[in-house]
Amino acid sequence: MTNEIAYKTSAGVCNDIDKQEINRVPSGGSERIVQLRALIDRYNYQYYVQDQPTVADAEYDGLFRELQTLEGRYPELLLSDSPTQRVGSAPLKSFVEVSHQTPMLSLNNAFSSDEVRAFDKRIRETLGLDTVEYAVELKFDGLAINLSYRNGIFVQGATRGDGSTGEDVTENLRTIRSLPLRLADALGHVFNADIEVRGEVLMSTRDFEILNAQQLIKGEKAFVNPRNAAAGSLRQLDSSITAQRRLSFYAYAIGGCTVVDLPDCQSAQMDLLQHWGMPVATFRRVVTGVDGLLEFYREMGAQRATLPFGIDGVVYKVNDLALQRQLGFVARAPRFAIAHKFPAEEALTTLLDIDVQVGRTGALTPVARLAPVFVGGVTVTNATLHNEDEIRRKDVRVGDTVIVRRAGDVIPEVVASVKAQRCADAQEFIMPLVCPVCGSHVTRELDESAWRCTGGLFCPAQRKQALLHFASRRAMNIDGLGDKLVDQLVEAHLLHTPADLYRLNMEHVASLARMGEKSASNLLDAIAQSRKTTLARFIFSLGIRNVGESTAKDLARHFGNLDSLMAADAECLQQVQEVGPVVATSMVNFFAESHNLEVIKQLRTLGVFWTEQTVQRDLPLAGKTFVLTGTLASLSRIDAQTALEAMGARVSGSVSKKTDYVVAGVESGSKLEKARQLNINVLTEDEFIKLIKGT
Ligand code: 5U1
């Protein structure tokens, strides 16, 4: 349909309004104003409706400012449909009531395929047809709105209200970027007729998340879901607030029109609206018979979680408008259409208790135990409450009626509590002081939302993670001890802490499924070999939070032995290069936990050892940071690093102001360039060799 659009209206064929405007305005800026409006409208359409911007933000901003300047210079040219008029106007005292010219209907719902089959059967029987053609669309989870255009210009918008009377929210709707203030096609021709457009105002999931993040920063209440956010934003008496919220609009029907020869089917009417710049969902099509309906339902159900907007179902409409009229209405809903609803993604239930789970990294997560509730297509009895701050922010208490959300495959969450239904004995949540799994004490770092168990070496919840890290190549380097084997050993109750590794014998290991004698012997050899290690590796292997390999090396060089390190307080730890308050606090907490000390003691008793490391301050390159770049001819990168570290130096991967020397081999690239820019000493390979040989 979109090729030739020249509809007869009661006022005549549609006009090119731009030409009329040109005649009315003073010479000079006038033509430019018309040009700029058309251009900005087009760019807005491409950006907000088609999601395909064609100009850079800076260019758009320049055009917009130019238009504002010209409109300021010629105020008589300022029209209500100018793209500059989307910023909101003076706050209202209250909303004015609006009577809808044609009532805004609601849809009957179907919740199962059988109900859809019954709908199709009723229609076929009433019409005496074998099969029926349907227009199928998305059912947006937003607010129904009626838009009125006079001569193609947006003049009024109202909420659905009771279907006959709604509230005038024109100024708020004007701020929605995708809502056209003038109905025009790609060539700038205006749809010069009166038309009522029905559709839905909503907020995309992304814009909802951004808004809620901003609300929290401002210390204001977060919205429960995108629908509430859209409703709260649209029902603002101050439209300048609405202008700051990113709302969207999608049309789904024509409520009335002065054009006498409108297309005679729903799908073509949607094409018509789209042609005149109205946002219409791309997910719509024409199907035949009930199988086509159910196929669309399945397809959209599968895509639901990935759509940018919330939908709560799909809508089926008899496509032919003459047949629609024949079918008519019952009560306030049409017989020719039905909404096939998806399982609700939100439901109310009772919060029975809050348990605390400990994750593999030791993070404590409060989990809601719920009275069973059917939501998002499954029965939910547990939902995450994320962390302590979230519970406080949402003011969720045990015994409350809560809103539970389960969207797609996402873990169910408690979104809010219904305060109006709170009982007097509702209990506030208190975070436990010790880990509910192992009894070690829990801590919370600055800027972290999670509380964590400090019993990293001992806690069963962290056991597998701790063992895998302990055995990893850069830690104790136990070759062959991978994921599956750790699982088997833990499940056979042979491994509880890393110390148990050094208690394993042939009988234990050979008893595991799929474990041959040779493999068992290789594993035991690898474990035995790992007993001899270095202090740095041992520190790293403990899996202390925030202590990586390089920090472990710094600590080993600084303290020289484990007992001094374990005895150090936070202040003392921060004397180590690159150790700040976060690492120092993690270390102190770790060594304050008696369970961890016990495992370390056992490891030493079971024969894990290292030669005490020479303390850094006694070494010639103590406190110096080196960066190696390019290829060295006479030694490998690892050997160069080992040589430097043996002399007390740190080796870093990137050049910064803190770098003391860059060693530049063949084909040194950007690191060498950066070193020169920062005026850092650059050593050739010869100079470097002389340095490490002490010559
Ligand atoms: N997609 C769509 N949503 N929706 C809602 N079409 C549609 N039609 C509706 C409603 C209330 O009512 C028709 C009867 C115009």
Is a pLDDT exceeding 80 seen at residue 238?
yes
Tell me the pLDDT tens digit for each residue of 309-350: 999 999 999 999 999 999 999 878 899 999 999 988 889 999
Tell me the pLDDT tens digit for each residue of 422-454: 999 999 999 999 999 999 999 998 778 999 999
Sign, CA dihedral 30-35-38-42, equals negative
Q: Which helix (H) or strand (E) holds 382?
A: strand 378-384
**What integer pLDDT is reported at residue 28 of this predicted model?**
63
CA of 299 to the centre of ligand 1 (A): 19
- Residue with the smallest CA separation from ligand 1 atom 6 is 252
Residue of 109, 139, 159 to test ligand 1 pocket, by largest number of atoms within 8 Å of CB: 139
Residue of 101, 105, 106, 107 to test ligand 1 pocket, by largest number of atoms within 8 Å of CB: 107
Task: Please state the rounded mean pLDDT for residues 350-363.
Answer: 94
Is a pLDDT exceeding 70 seen at residue 515?
yes
Please give the C-alpha separations between residue 192 and each of 254, 314, 593, in angstroms, as whole numbers. 15, 32, 78
Task: Please state the rounded mean pLDDT for residues 27-36.
Answer: 80
Measured in Å, how far apart are the chain's first and last C-alpha atoms?
Answer: 87
Is a pLDDT exceeding 50 seen at residue 7?
no
CA of 252 to the centre of ligand 1 (A): 6
3-state SS, residue 337: strand
Q: Which residue has the higher pLDDT, 165 or 646?
A: 165
Tell me the CB-side half-sphere exposure of residue 42, using CA atoms within 13 A.
15
d(Cα 285, Cα 343) in Å, to the nearest integer? Answer: 22
> What are the backbone angles phi and psi of residue 10, rounded to the nearest 5°?
-65, -25
289 lines ligand 1 (CB under 6 A): no
d(Cα 206, Cα 625) in Å, to the nearest integer? Answer: 44
Res. 22 pLDDT band, cuts 50 70 90: very low
198 lines ligand 1 (CB under 6 A): yes
Inter-residue contact 392 to 354 (CB < 8 Å): no
Query: What are the tokens at 176?
Result: 């929605």
Inter-residue contact 250 to 283 (CB < 8 Å): no
Q: What share of the chain is helix, strand, coil (3-state, %, to 5)?
A: 40, 20, 40
Is a pLDDT exceeding 60 seen at residue 4?
no
CA of 107 to the centre of ligand 1 (A): 7
Inter-residue contact 44 to 55 (CB < 8 Å): no
DSSP string, 104-121: -----EE-SHHHHHHHHH
205 lines ligand 1 (CB under 6 A): no
Task: Please state the rounded mean pLDDT for residues 518-533.
Answer: 96
Is a pLDDT exceeding 70 seen at residue 695?
no
Inter-residue contact 626 to 646 (CB < 8 Å): no
Tell me the pLDDT tens digit for each residue of 550-575: 899 999 988 989 999 999 999 999 99
3-state SS, residue 160: coil
- Residue with the smallest CA separation from ligand 1 atom 8 is 252
How many residues can be counted in the chain? 695
**What integer pLDDT is reported at residue 13 of this predicted model?**
33
To the query of whether residue 394 is one of the catalytic residues in this protein, the response is: no
pTM attached to this predicted model? 0.65
Inter-residue contact 627 to 681 (CB < 8 Å): no
Task: Please state the rounded mean pLDDT for residues 294-320.
Answer: 95
**What integer pLDDT is reported at residue 400 of this predicted model?**
96
